[in-house]
Amino acid sequence: MLEYDFMRTAFEAGTAVSIVAGAVGYFLVLRNLAFAGHALSHVGFAGATGAVLLGVTPFWGLLAFTVAGGIGMGLLGDQLRGRDIAVGIILSLSLGLGVLFLHLYTSYATQATALLFGNVLGVSAESLRDLCVLGVVTLGALVVISRPLIFATLDPELAAAKGVSLRRIAVLFLVIVAVAVAEAVQIVGILLVFALMVGPAAAALRWTTRLRSGVALAVALAVIETWAGIALAYITDWPPSFWITFLSAAVYGASYRPLALLAGAREPA
Q: Tell me the pLDDT tens digit for each residue of 57-88.
A: 777 888 888 888 888 777 765 555 555 666 66
Give strand ranges (E) for the chain: none
Q: Is the pLDDT of residue 28 over 50?
A: yes
Residue 237 lies in a domain: no
Residue 251 lies in a domain: no
- Give the number of other CB atoms < 10 A from CB of residue 212: 8
Structural domain boundaries enclosing 175: 5-192
Residue 229 lies in a domain: no
Q: Are 221 and 25 in contact (CB under 8 A)?
A: no
Convert the pLDDT of each residue in 208-258 to its tens digit.
888 899 999 999 999 999 999 999 999 998 988 889 999 999 999 888 765
Q: Which residues of 73-97 are buried (b: 16+ CB within 10 A; e: fewer)?
A: bbebbeebeeeeeebeebbeebbeb
Residue 261 lies in a domain: no
Q: Taking the model in full, what pTM does it have?
A: 0.82
Residue 58 lies in a domain: yes
* Numbers of helices and strands, H then E, in the chain: 12, 0
- Dmax over CA atoms of the chain, in Å, equals 69
Nearest CA among 42, 33, 73, 69 for reference residue 202: 33
* Distance separating alpha carbons of residues 219 and 42, to the nearest angstrom: 24
- Give the number of other CB atoms < 10 A from CB of residue 257: 10
- Angstrom distances, CA of residue 34 to CA of 28, 84, 163, 202, 232: 6, 11, 26, 10, 27
Q: Residue 125 is which amino acid?
A: A
Q: Is the pLDDT of residue 263 over 70?
A: no
Q: Are 123 and 186 in contact (CB under 8 A)?
A: yes
In the chain, the number of structural domains is 1
* Distance separating alpha carbons of residues 132 and 53, to the nearest angstrom: 27
Q: What does the pLDDT read at residue 227?
A: 95
Which tops the pLDDT comparison, 25 or 72?
Answer: 25
Q: What does the pLDDT read at residue 192?
A: 76
pLDDT-derived band at 265, boundaries 50, 70, 90? very low
Residue 214 lies in a domain: no
Mean pLDDT of 8-36: 90
Mean pLDDT of the chain: 82
Look up the CATH number of the domain holding residue 37: 1.10.3470.10
Distance in angstroms between the alpha carbons of the first and the last residue of the chain: 53
Residue 240 lies in a domain: no
Convert the pLDDT of each residue in 46-58 to its tens digit.
888 888 778 777 7
